[in-house]
Amino acid sequence: MIGTRLDNVDAPRLIRGAHGWWFIGNRTWTLLRAEHVDAEGVIRADIAEFLREQGAYRPRIPKSFSLTVLTNTDCNLGCGYCFQNTALDPSGGHRPLRIARQRLDDDTIERIMKFTAARMAAAELDKMTLLLFGGEPLLNPRGCLRLLTRATDFGLRSASTATNGVLLKEQLAVELYAAGLRGAQITFDGSRNDHDQIRVTHAGSPTFDQILHNVERATARTELRWNFRVNVSHHNFDRIGDLFGQLDGHVDPSRSTIVFAWVGDAGFGYGNDLRRAADVADAFAEWSIAGIGAGYHIERPSMRTTCQICSVPGGRYGAVVNADGTLYSSWQSAGKRDFAVGAVDTGYLDVHQVADRWVTCGYEYAQADSEVADTFADRVDARVLDHLYTTGRL
C-alpha cells in the first residue's frame, strides 16, 4: 500500500522488485530502496512528499475527447469466445449468433460528429482521438474512410482501428493511412497452429498467414504502427513463444507493440482454464522480456487508472457510439440488448435512469478475486521493470 495515496480514480502502485520497491505513478517509474518503505509497505513520508512534488501522484487529465465508433457490427470471423456473440452456431459451424446488424452510413456520421462537437465544447477539449471498432470495422471500408475524413475537421489528434487484419489489404491500408489512420490493433490467438484453430473464417479456414501478409504489405506502403495483442489461454499457453519466430521478417518490431492478454471467456462454448499461478505470471514476464529483446515495444507498467470513456457516468470525456448512433458506456457493451445509455441525437439518458446499464470496459472479464489478479499483474510488472532497469532501458 501507499500511505499517502490520493482519493481519486488514478492510484499509484508500489510493487516489490529484485532491487527494491518499484513506485509506479503518473508516467513515473522510480526504484525505491528498502529503507524508503516500512515493513507494512508504506512509503516513508519524506519520500512520498518528494514524489508528490515531482508530479508522480498527479491524476491524469484528459487532453482530448476519446471517441469510439462501431462502423459495422458484423464480423467475417467466427471466434467462439467473442464477447459480441449471443449464441453458438446452431448448425455447429463457425457462424455464432451475434449482436444486431448495424452499418455506419454518411447520415449517421454527420449526426455523430455534431454530437461529438457539442461534447468536446462542454468538456473544453479541442482535440479528439478516434477508434474505429466493430464487429469487424473493415467490412465497411467506406464508412471508415468517411469517418476519418470528417474527424479531421474536429481536431483529430490520432486515429486507430481494432481489426482482425484479414481485410486490411494493401490498397485499403494505403487509403486509410491517407485519410488519417495511424495505428491498428491486431489480435493473434497464439502462434500459427493455435491461432488457425481458434481465429477462423465462417467456413473454418485459417487466417494467420493472410493477416501476416497484409501487415507486411501495409508496413511496406504506409507508416502505420501496430499493436499486436496476443490472447493467452490453456489452448495455446505452451506455444506462445513460437510466435516471435513466425513474425520475424514479416513485421517491423520498431513500429510494433506487443501485448500478452488473458483471454476472456465471455462467449459460448469456450472457457479459459488457466489460473493465475506464479508460473503463469513468470511466463507472461518472460514473453514480454523476449519481445523487448526482439525489438518490440512493450507497454510500460502503469499506475492504476480507469477508462476515460466509461469511468464517469455521463461520458464527459468520451463516447462509444454504435453504427446506428446509439450510445453505450463502453466498447464491451456496445450493440448489446438493453445496454443503451442514450443516442447522439438526444444525448445521454439521466445517469440514475441507466445506472444498471452503465458498465465499465472489461466488466464481463472481471476476476472474482481482485487481489489474486492484482498479485498476478504486480509479479509480471516487477519482472519487466527489473529487466528494463538492469539493461539500462528504463
Give the pLDDT confidence score for residue 171 in this predicted structure. 98
Residues spanned by the domain of 202: 62-394
Give me 314's grid cell: 455521463
In the sheet that 13-16 helps form, which strands lie side by side, from edge to edge?
13-16, 21-25, 28-32
Rounded-to-integer distance, Cα 270 and Cα 246, Å: 26
Rounded-to-integer distance, Cα 66 and Cα 178, Å: 21
Write the pLDDT tens digit of every residue in 232-254. 988 899 999 999 999 999 999 99
Q: What is the CATH number for 131?
A: 3.20.20.70
Rounded mean pLDDT of 38-42? Answer: 88
Rounded-to-integer distance, Cα 151 and Cα 143, Å: 12
Looking at the fold, whether 390 and 241 belong to one and the same domain comes out as yes
Looking at the fold, whether 312 and 250 belong to one and the same domain comes out as yes
Name the 3-class secondary structure at 2.
coil
Looking at the fold, whether 88 and 217 belong to one and the same domain comes out as yes
Looking at the fold, whether 50 and 78 belong to one and the same domain comes out as no
Looking at the fold, whether 6 and 139 belong to one and the same domain comes out as no
Rounded mean pLDDT of 335-344? Answer: 96
Q: Minimal CA–CA distance to 228: which of 198, 206, 248?
A: 248
Looking at the fold, whether 174 and 300 belong to one and the same domain comes out as yes
Rounded-to-integer distance, Cα 379 and Cα 364, Å: 23
pLDDT over 80 at 270, yes or no: no
Give the pLDDT confidence score for residue 226 in this predicted structure. 98
**Beta-sheet pairing, 156-162 with 183-188:** parallel
Write the pLDDT tens digit of every residue in 166-199. 999 999 999 999 999 999 999 999 999 999 999 9
Give the pLDDT confidence score for residue 268 in this predicted structure. 66
Q: Looking at 10, 33, 60, which one is the last position of a domain?
A: 60
pLDDT over 60 at 9, yes or no: no
219, β-bridge pairs:
none
Most confidently modeled range among 98-102, 311-315, 364-368:
98-102
Give the pLDDT confidence score for residue 5 in this predicted structure. 29
Looking at the fold, whether 170 and 30 belong to one and the same domain comes out as no
pLDDT over 70 at 276, yes or no: no
Kindly report which listed range (53-67, 82-96, 368-382) carries the lowest average pLDDT score. Answer: 368-382
Looking at the fold, whether 16 and 77 belong to one and the same domain comes out as no
Looking at the fold, whether 24 and 152 belong to one and the same domain comes out as no
Name the 3-class secondary structure at 14.
strand
CA dihedral of residues 111, 117, 122, 127 (deg, nearest 10): 140
pLDDT over 90 at 40, yes or no: no
Looking at the fold, whether 283 and 358 belong to one and the same domain comes out as yes
Taking phi over 0 as left and psi of -120 to 50 as alpha, with beta for the rest, 18 belongs to alpha
What HEC string does 291-330 produce? HHHCCCECCCCCCECCCCCCCCCCCCCEEEECCCCEEECC
Rounded-to-integer distance, Cα 352 and Cα 345, Å: 20
Q: Looking at 36, 60, 84, which one is the last position of a domain?
A: 60
Looking at the fold, whether 340 and 278 belong to one and the same domain comes out as yes
Give me 156's grid cell: 483529430
Rounded mean pLDDT of 10-33? Answer: 93
> Percent of the chain, pLDDT > 90?
78
Looking at the fold, whether 90 and 105 belong to one and the same domain comes out as yes
Write the pLDDT tens digit of every residue in 112-135. 999 999 999 999 999 999 999 999
Give the pLDDT confidence score for residue 118 in this predicted structure. 97
- Number of structural domains in the chain: 2
Q: Looking at 19, 40, 60, which one is the last position of a domain?
A: 60
Write the pLDDT tens digit of every residue in 287-296. 999 999 999 9
